[in-house]
Amino acid sequence: MARTSYPKHEIRILLLEGISQNAVEQFRAAGYSRIDQFDKSLPEDELRRQVADAHFIGIRSRTQLTAEVLGEARRLLAVGCFCIGTSQVDLDAAERLGIPVFNAPYSNTRSVAELVVAEAIMLMRGIPRKNAACHRGGWEKSAAGSHEARGKTIGIVGYGHIGTQVGLIAENLGMRVLFHDIEAKLALGNARPVDSLDSLLEQSDVVTLHVPETPATRLMIGEPQLSRMRRGSHLINASRGSVVDIEALAAALRSGHLGGTAVDVFPVEPKGNDDVFESPLAGIDNALLTPHIGGSTLEAQDNIGLEVAAKLVRYSDNGSTLSAVNFPEVTLPEHTGSRRLLHIHRNVPGMMSRVNGIFSQRNVNIDGQYLRTHPEVGYVVIDVDASEEQATELKEELAAIDGTLRTRILY
């Protein structure tokens, strides 16, 4: 097993929110044994305590890694979001601290898309309300308000990985597919772009949201947008709870303007399965509520576990930041036969001449050098022909350069 700057058994990996055992097995197979697991997200004070001596942390969508929490994680080398969304991490703060953040951009895409299309069918048949009535002894056998999906229009807001999958499956059911995105996107199948959100809302029988959480998507569906939707149409939100004004949605359902809704994500979600869920939508029969399980299939979770753990192991063992979401991406070959020095620094003028000056002064031969920069942060990896002792001294000299954020040696 390759040695890194720390003995692997001292590297502490903290996994929160019930991350798949596949991840644990992947870490163990790579020689990492100090793994602490929790099945829920932690209260902030406990989170601060736990991150203080963690080298890697794995989270899902619930754990908020704010600048303050990251600031206390002095040993943290990298963050793994074992999910798609990364808005729960202050990505800029992490970058400024020299901490790359990785995620699994596609592993649960299909799971979300399948759920959403199933919900679209359920909503168009009025199933949430009929189901609720049956549970109370009711019997609403009627075709009133029930429709086939075939020939109806689905409007997709955010035509990215999930949105395009939803569009393809919906089209196979015979639905007409419209989409709205802020970027120009290749329309798949017969899907058609619509130039404004309002126009999409006015034309759709079902609207489904697949945008990330950003300042621009915050409350993008409020009372004005809901009132533009067709009377009796349906809204699906499996994106983020912040995207929809949930009180306005509850009012639109109660007034009968909307036919139904399926909501998987909420402005406030319980930290774990033992906590109480409260929502203005609770008790509304035509609201199909799910506990943020769009990506919670065994297939998706197993794949995510493998994918994100592999990215963290690769960064730990090899230094590669390929596919980091917030960080200069460096792809690295194996470094057998040389010592590898990693230097993460503030991207200020003169940094590389100071870095390279250390090697020329000591007359150390550089076998390979890999540099990538972002406006604020630079990441340089230097493979050197040096003894372990020399490499340790070089690392100390690199660490002393003003503007250095993190240094590491891989033996």
Ligand X SMILES: O=C(O)C(=O)COP(=O)(O)O
Ligand Y SMILES: NC(=O)C1=CN([C@@H]2O[C@H](COP(=O)(O)OP(=O)(O)OC[C@H]3O[C@@H](n4cnc5c(N)ncnc54)[C@H](O)[C@@H]3O)[C@@H](O)[C@H]2O)C=CC1
Q: Verify binding: residue 267, ligand X, rule CB under 6 A.
A: no
By C-beta, is 292 or 408 nearer to ligand X? 292
Q: Evaluate whether 150 touches 174 at the Cβ level (below 8 Å).
A: yes
Q: Verify binding: residue 128, ligand Y, rule CB under 6 A.
A: no
Tell the smallest beta-carbon distance from residue 25 to ligand Y (Å). 23
Could you tell me which stretch among 148-156, 292-300, 308-316, 395-403 binds ligand Y (CB under 6 A)? 292-300
Among 5, 204, 208, 296, which residue interacts with ligand X (rule: CB under 6 A)?
Answer: 296
Distance CA 310, CA 313 (A): 5
Q: Which of residues 209-248 bind ligand Y (CB under 6 A)?
A: 210-214, 216-217, 238-240
The DSSP call for residue 326 is: S
Instruction: Determine whether 136 is an active site residue.
Output: no
Tell the smallest beta-carbon distance from residue 100 to ligand X (Å). 18
Instruction: Determine whether 292 is an active site residue.
Output: yes
Task: Say which entry of ligand X, ligand Y, none residue 126 contacts (CB below 5 to 8 A, set by partner kind).
Answer: none
Cα 83 to its chain centre, rounded Å, is 4
* Angle ∠(246,201,284) on CA atoms, nearest 5: 35
Q: Which of residues 191-210 bind ligand Y (CB under 6 A)?
A: 210
The catalytic position among 269, 329, 393, 397 is 269
Distance CA 321, CA 380 (A): 11
Tell the smallest beta-carbon distance from residue 325 to ligand X (Å). 12
Size of site (CB under 6 A) for ligand X: 10
Q: Evaluate whether 172 touches 184 at the Cβ level (below 8 Å).
A: no
Task: Say which entry of ligand X, ligand Y, none residue 348 contacts (CB below 5 to 8 A, set by partner kind).
Answer: none
Q: Which of residues 323-362 bind ligand Y (CB under 6 A)?
A: none
Task: Say which entry of ligand X, ligand Y, none residue 214 contacts (CB below 5 to 8 A, set by partner kind).
Answer: ligand Y
Tell the smallest beta-carbon distance from residue 327 to ligand Y (Å). 18
Instruction: Determine whether 240 is an active site residue.
Output: yes
143 burial level (CB within 10 Å; 0-12, 13-18, 19+): exposed
Distance CA 378, CA 371 (A): 7
Q: Evaluate whether 99 touches 120 at the Cβ level (below 8 Å).
A: no
Q: Evaluate whether 389 touches 360 at the Cβ level (below 8 Å).
A: no
Among 125, 147, 161, 228, which residue interacts with ligand Y (rule: CB under 6 A)?
Answer: 161
Q: How many CB atoms lie within 10 A of CB 3?
A: 13
Q: Where are the alpha helices (DSSP H) in 105-222?
A: 109-124, 127-135, 161-172, 197-203
Q: Which of residues 68-127 bind ligand X (CB under 6 A)?
A: 83-85, 108
Distance CA 331, CA 372 (A): 10
Cα 188 to its chain centre, rounded Å, is 24
- Residues in contact with ligand X by CB under 6 A are 60-62, 83-85, 108, 292, 295-296
| Catalytic residue numbers, as ranges | 240, 269, 292
